[in-house]
Structures are given as C-alpha cells and as structure tokens.
Chains A and B, each alone.
Chain A
Amino acid sequence: MTSFIQTSPARTLSNAVRDHHIAAEAPFSTVIKKGQVVRIEDSYGQQAVDTLFYNADDFSERYSSQDTMREQGAAYISTGTKVISNEGRVMLTVTADSCGRHDTSAGACSCESNTVRFGHYTKYLHACRDNFVIEVSKHGMSKRDVVPNINFFMNVPIEPSGEMTIVDGISAPGDYVELTAEMDVLLVISNCPQINNPCNGFDPTPIRVLVWDGEAA
C-alpha cells in the first residue's frame, strides 16, 4: 500500500471528508453528493474494483454501461468519460486517472457464471454479484437492480475480431481514478474476490475510497 498522492493543491488527506479502507473481497456503499470528488484507489495494485452508481434520490435511475459506451463512442473508461445513466443523464465525470484502462464490458463475476466459465466446482466461491446483491439490499433494492457495471482497473482488451479476454491489470500500487459527481449518487462497490482470472492477480487486496467536498475539487 502506498502513501497519499495529491492530485490538486486543494485536495489533501487532512481535508478529505471521508476516508474508507475496504477489505479485500468486501462490498461497500456510500452516497456521493453533487459536486463532491470521489477517489477510488487501488492501494496494492492489480485489483479490480467492480462499481455501480444509482441516483441517490431515485434508484430506478442507475449506471448504464451501454449508454456510457455509446455517448463516448468507445469501449474503455478513462479521464473525460461521462458516466451516463439509463435516463441518458450524466451521473459523474472521470476527472483524473493514473491507470488509463478500465473496463465496462465484462460485468461482475457471479457464482453462476463461474460455473460456466471455470467449472461447476467453482460455484461456492465468493463473487461480486453476491457482494452487489448484499449491498444494494441494504438500500431496498434486489438482484433486479444489479446491472452491468464498471470494473475500475480491470484490463479487458477487445480485439477488432471480437476476441475478448481478461488479462493482467496494469495498475500499480496507489493508482487511482477520481470522479466528480454531477448528481447525488449512491456508489456501490464490490472489491472483487475473483480468484479464477487475473483481474486482481489471483490475489484480492484492499482498496481505499476518499471523498472531498466541492471546494477541494
């Protein structure tokens, strides 16, 4: 785990309004207010952070991978990407990214898809979809509300032929992505527990989530 990296003179560790350390494999959620900046930090490197966003005032409006890819005309997420909802509105904007490669095509691992991908014997392994269901259920939602997500720091190149495979992540310890909220959003994270593919080097690690108020943005 690395020490704090300052991305703006206004943003310091001491003026962060929240500083969450999220254990390897764990779920997490918090509300990010409009104007706040959230940093998701890959503290140890090569950890996939499966992430969903919901409009904090109306959970039926939520992250849409297809709308996000369509609006930017590209398959990967990086600085400048507008995170778009199913209502076509901008939820957040990616304002900093020290990694440069994030996926939103491959979705979240699940016990059920693991049986198909890796064999039935992998069914009883902790999985992101279970994390998401546990976490959104705290907010009155269910599996119906778990939609295709962003995988921060996950490296999933798509070839012109269509070939698509999860390969080793390129994120180093301390790499981060920062997003500015354009509406009040519920952030939901599964700190990916998958140990059957290289999305986290087969070795899930803790991450950190920091939030700053608008004036420190």
Chain B
Amino acid sequence: MMHIRRSPEEIAANRARYEEHQKKGLDFAPKALPGKSGKPAPALAAEQIVHQEKLPGGWYWWTRVKANEVLRIALDEGFSTVSVVAWNAADPSERMNLPDTVKVQWTTGLGKGRVIFSDMGKVMFSISEDSCGAHDVLMGGSTASSNARKYAGANGPALRNTRDNLVLVATKAGLDKRDIPAALALFAPVRVDAEGKFQWKPELVSDGDYVDLRAEMDMIVGFSNCPHPLDPNPVYAPNPVIITRIAAAEPAVDDLCRTATAEAVRGFENNAFAAQ
C-alpha cells in the first residue's frame, strides 16, 4: 500500500524537538509551582461573595460564571468528593477536556498553578489555590451500578450517583447527555501504581481542604457531590460541600497560573485571540 516514509533527518529533528518540550514540561515546569495553598482558606469580604451554595451530599448543582470569577469548593463540613464539568457559555460545544489537560501539562496531577483546558486549546479554569493537590482526572464519578455494587443492601434510590447528577445538570442547562465531558473529581486521592492499578490514598486529603477555580471564560459549570467509586467507606455518607462564587478581580500580569509553564502561556494566547 502507498506509504511515503519520513526521512531519518526529519524524524531526528522532530524527536529532538519533542524531547526538549518534554524536558521543560517534566523537569522545569513543576519547579515553578509553589506547592499547596495554606489552610484555612483566605477569608472573604461580604462584597466578594456573589453567591454561596451548600451542596448536600448526593446532590448536584450548576451555575453560570463570568470570566475572572472564582469558584471556591471547600470541605468545611468534612470529607467529600466533588465532580466538576464545564462548558463555554457562548458555545457549549466547547467543553472541559481532561485528556488534553493532562497531556499538555505532562501530568495527571492537578494542583495550585495548573490550568484546565477545553477541547479547543483554551484555558477554562486556573487552579489559583489548592490546599490538597489530590484530585482524580482518570476515573470520573459513580454510576447507579457502581453504587449498587458498593453499597449492597442499601436503599437504591437514596444512593444518588454522579452519572445521573451530570445528566440532570446537562439537561437543565439546555444540553443533553451527549454533551457530558469526562469529569474532574476534586478531593479524590487517586494514584496509579507501577502496574497501572488505581490506589486510594486518603492521607492526601483532610477536612478544611479547598480548591479555588478561576474562570478564564464565561462558562456553565456543573457539580456532583457523591462518593468516588474508589472511596473505601462502606457507608454512603457524603458530607455537604460549600461552593462560593467569588466576584471577579483582574489577575496580575505575572499571575502564577498564566505564566508558570510554556503550555499555559500558549493556552492563554489562544484565549486572548478568541476574545478579540
């Protein structure tokens, strides 16, 4: 079959370029990041709070946010895992893309200083504060069947799950289940071992942990507060989670998330070009 192979010189040049990107992404970029945010979360003045939602365990919530507003998700009432999805409000066919997010930043580990990408090469969220750094981008949330297996004998309908919650979020936002992207699970301490198996590391999360997600475009954002499928607690007991929508403030020109990595810089260049 017809096939024109690339020349050894061309391949060598492309490989050298890749290895340079890889070295910057793996060796240099993480050193530019400051580590976890301190606890407790910085206090907010009353006028900064646009809205505060106490999301009960098992339930979902969705909201619209404007660029530069911050969503603070906080475990003030005890441990829980919160799944997050997002769509560009102006064009919901653009949505959160976790494979791109981890691939372009050379890590599945999200924390303070990292950003979350859309499928169109733009930044949706900056992780401007994060006291925890233990989040899951791979496994997503619970489903009716994963709950049924895990909480055998419990009252099925009472065991709300993330899949159904995200169907509700999507449809109430005028979208449908085809639009549900892979979900980010905040406060889900999942790690991958040498064989590729998932491990749950509860010591990485504690009460009072919080994440600040700064919106980098106008968005529809959905949340589900259900136990993660790997959470070993045999009792279905998600705590309420406090989500605060914080008024917009213009980030500084040397903003950490916008400058920490070459990839983030290019992502924000895409945002700026699209906004023109």
Residue ranges of A at the interface with B (Cβ–Cβ < 8 Å): 1, 21, 23-24, 44, 60, 64-67, 69-70, 73-76, 86, 88, 105-108, 110-120, 129, 142-148, 158-166, 195-198, 201-203, 205-206
Contacts and interface: CB of A to CB of B under 8 A. Distances in A.
Given A74-B195, A113-B117, A206-B1, A164 B93 contact: no
A211 to B, nearest CB: 18
A118 B262 CA distance: 9
Contact of B14 (A112, A158, A202): A202
B84 to A, nearest CB: 13
Nearest to B145: A88
A198 B21 CA distance: 12
B104 interface: yes
B178 A164 contact: no
B168 to A, nearest CB: 15
Interface of B: 1-3, 5-6, 10-11, 14-15, 17-18, 21-22, 25-26, 93, 97-100, 102-104, 106-109, 117, 119-122, 138-141, 143-146, 163, 176-183, 191-199, 229, 263, 266-267, 269-270
Given A120-B266, A162-B108, A197 B18 contact: yes
A60 B194 contact: no
Given A148-B182, A202-B11, A107 B3 contact: no
A203 B5 contact: yes
Nearest to B197: A74
Contacts of A163: 26, 106-107, 109
Per DSSP, chain A at the interface is: loop
A105 B141 CA distance: 15
Given A23-B1, A74-B195, A144 B178 contact: yes
Q: Is the interface of B mostly helix, strand, loop or mixed?
A: mixed
Contacts of B163: 86, 88
B143 to A, nearest CB: 5
A148 B106 CA distance: 17
Given A115-B121, A162-B108, A202-B11, 11 more contacts: A65-B99, A65-B182, A70-B139, A106-B99, A108-B99, A116-B100, A116-B121, A144-B93, A159-B192, A160-B199, A201-B11
Contacts of B199: 160
Nearest to A159: B192
A118 B192 contact: no
A164 B106 contact: yes
Given A67-B140, A107-B99, A158 B108 contact: yes
B6 A148 contact: no
Contacts of B100: 107, 110, 113, 116
14 contacts: A23-B3, A60-B176, A66-B139, A88-B163, A106-B99, A107-B100, A112-B270, A113-B100, A116-B266, A146-B119, A164-B102, A164-B108, A196-B18, A206-B3
User: Which 3 pairs between the two chains have the least Cβ-Cβ distance?
Assistant: A107-B99, A162-B109, A112-B121
Nearest to A25: B3
Contacts of A110: 100, 119, 121
